[in-house]
Structure 1
Amino acid sequence: MTARSGEITVTAPDGLGEIVPGTDLAVVVADLMDLMDGDVVVVTSKIVSKAEGRIRPSDDASYEQAFADETIRVVARRGMTRIVRNRLGLVMAAAGIDRSNVEAGTIVLLPADPDATARTLRERLAELAGVNVGVVVTDTAGRAWRDGQTDIAIGVAGLTPAEVFAGSVDSYGNPLAVTLPAVADEIAGAAELAQGKLGGRPLARVRGRADLVLPRGDHGPGAVSLQRGEGADLFGFGAREAVVTALATDETWWHVFGAAAASEEFTTALRRVFPDLQTTRLEEDLVEVQLAAPAPASVLRAVAVSHGWRPVEATPEAALVTSACFSPTRP
């Protein structure tokens, strides 16, 4: 493995023509870029989607159908804004459907399989240019807690998507427990600085991190390895969707709340809603509570569901109860 250098250069060439369905992106990249072993080729998802023919009409009916086809579930919504988990497992506004940098009257869907596209492009570049490079397919996404957007990696091949530092120590001797730089996303963001949103430069070459590029034949785990599975993210729902999902009787998405909280954590949450709650039995697999005054069973159940627990016995939605038993949700 090549040692990491202290300098990184990013080059985004001009001169790219219009990409149409069937365009061989490997030929385009090889013609526009001087590549060497250890480079990382960065390609925006927009031109990948164009080459794959992932273009649809933008009328309301076509858009809503595309949105439905690309969406697994809604994460959060505020008015017309809908953040969803799409079929690729990415959490994005509008399922990643884009109206920018595309012919008027059309929309562009995300690539069918960005990791597969990255692998194919890497193999084709090895054939055409005789080089071993990493490939990153990028798209623009917003971030929780911060305004603005940045590019992220949605497809990766021949590249280590994240550097694992857990178990290492810093220069002061402090142990690193969860440090995991998402270098594929960092490369995507660096490339976008050179490409520019309106620059007409959807390709880039990043040079200086050959240590991240894997040997030929080893494509690595792909960008999908950077995605948290359902139930593993602390923010699987927006605030409004979380309340509605917990109170609804439909159990389809209850698993998104994640693994069962410890019994003490669960009962602490119950007391925040019902200050007069008394715990009469507390075990890791069973919690029995009593209330001084009757309370809606549906509210008790909602608190339980949001913490990975559920009532041992079902009760009518309109029922008022003074006691209830709960057990952890089982897979």
Structure 2
Amino acid sequence: MTELHLVAPEGVGEVGPGDDLAEALTALVELHDGDVVLVTSKVVSKAEGRVVPGTRDDALAGETARVVARRGATRIVRTHHGLTLAAAGIDASNVEPGRVVLLPVDPDASARRLRDRLAQLTGRNVGVVVTDTAGRAWRTGQTDLAVGAAGVHVLDDHAGRRDGYGNDLAVTAPAVADELAAAAELVQGKLGRRPFAVVRGRPDLVLPPGDHGPGAAALIRPEDADMFGLGSREAVVRALAGDPSTRVGFGAVAASDEVAEAVVAVTGVPPQAAGSGLLAEGAWEALCVLAFAHGWHAVRADPPATARLLPGTP
């Protein structure tokens, strides 16, 4: 039988700049080797002085690397950390009116400092995960995930293993740090003023002392591998505008057969013509848009009534 024990201690007071989070936690709960400590990004940010005056809209531009999608007043953005979050994770709850909480500058570094401090105070080897709340592209509601981590395996890669039926597990890789974060939120609650949680029962996820691991940054999908790097409307606008500086978000350069298929779907040109890269002059505008969106570029060919697609941006 496998058991997992979670506790979120009561009694954590208001946190301010410079407060020692490790002292606050260890005053309330006894840690064991192999525990995983989870702490909300909000309380980390408060301790690190990341509470600023103003509104979400005031702070959004400074926390945004690029806009992914927008619907009315809602902005989904990619932050400078590489995280994709609504309003860049800026939070206006559980803070004085007229002020907002920004995410920590480097959540992995925050996790490392807290882990080192806990080891100093207790002599225990624990993992640390910094959590935040996020929505999901295909599901209603929110759940907590790991934005920072130290001393824990963040991903359990099953590649090379086989299931009980002998099937190869080629792409299975549970994001265990995110799973821990979501489980912790069940005992922390949103309004309970319980910013810490301790998970006991998975010491196999905790790394040896001094080994902080790759951090939660390892869970961020690279932009060239992101199949949903832009919202549907934003993708249309950027492709039509064709500004090379805004091509980020369309992913890696597409394979030639994928480009040919897209050209056929949009222009109606027979597959053999698309496969050779030749298009009628009347389809030039559509060709340029398709090329941009797939990481290719269009060049006029000889004779002048034809054009050719070439991989890579000019």
Q: TM-score normalised to the size of structure 1?
A: 0.90
1:121-136 to structure 2, matched below 5 A, reads: 121-136=114-129
- Give the counterpart of 2:176 among 183, 188, 207: 183
List alignment gaps of at least 5 residues for structure 2.
Answer: none
Q: Secondary structure at the match of 1:312?
A: strand
Task: Note the C-alpha offset of 1:281.
Answer: 7.4
Q: How many residues align?
A: 312
- Give the counterpart of 2:236 among 223, 237, 243: 243
Q: 1:329 corresponds to which residue?
A: 312
Task: Note the C-alpha offset of 1:278.
Answer: 5.9
- Give the counterpart of 1:294 among 282, 291, 313: 282
- Give the counterpart of 2:20 among 17, 24, 32: 24
Q: Secondary structure at the match of 2:193?
A: coil
Task: Note the C-alpha offset of 1:117.
Answer: 0.4
Q: 1:102 corresponds to which residue?
A: 95
Q: 2:29 corresponds to which residue?
A: 33
Q: 1:142 corresponds to which residue?
A: 135
Percent identity over paired residues: 58
Residue 53 (str. 1) matches residue 49 (str. 2): yes
1:67-106 to structure 2, matched below 5 A, reads: 67-106=60-99
Task: Note the C-alpha offset of 1:56.
Answer: 1.3
Task: Note the C-alpha offset of 1:140.
Answer: 0.1
1:144-187 residue CA offsets vs partner (Å, 9 max, x unmatched)? 11000000000000000010101100011111010000000000
1:295-331 residue CA offsets vs partner (Å, 9 max, x unmatched)? 3x332111112122111359xxxxxx85211111169
Task: Note the C-alpha offset of 1:260.
Answer: 2.2
Q: Aligned-residue CA RMSD in angstroms?
A: 1.8
- Give the counterpart of 2:218 among 210, 217, 225: 225
Runs of 4+ in 1 over 3 A off after TM superposition: 276-282
List alignment gaps of at least 5 residues for structure 1.
Answer: 315-320
Task: Note the C-alpha offset of 1:279.
Answer: 4.3
CA contact (8 A) 2:38 2:128 kept: yes
Q: Evaluate the alpha carbon distance shift between residue 300 and residue 16 of structure 1 in structure 2; reply closer, same or farther with a 3 A threshold.
A: same
Residue 10 (str. 1) matches residue 6 (str. 2): yes
Q: 1:205 corresponds to which residue?
A: 198
CA contact (8 A) 1:279 1:290 kept: no
Q: 1:171 corresponds to which residue?
A: 164
Q: Secondary structure at the match of 1:276?
A: coil
- Give the counterpart of 1:215 among 192, 203, 208: 208
Q: Secondary structure at the match of 2:146?
A: strand
1:267-289 residue CA offsets vs partner (Å, 9 max, x unmatched)? 1111111113564474xxxx522
CA contact (8 A) 2:260 2:274 kept: no
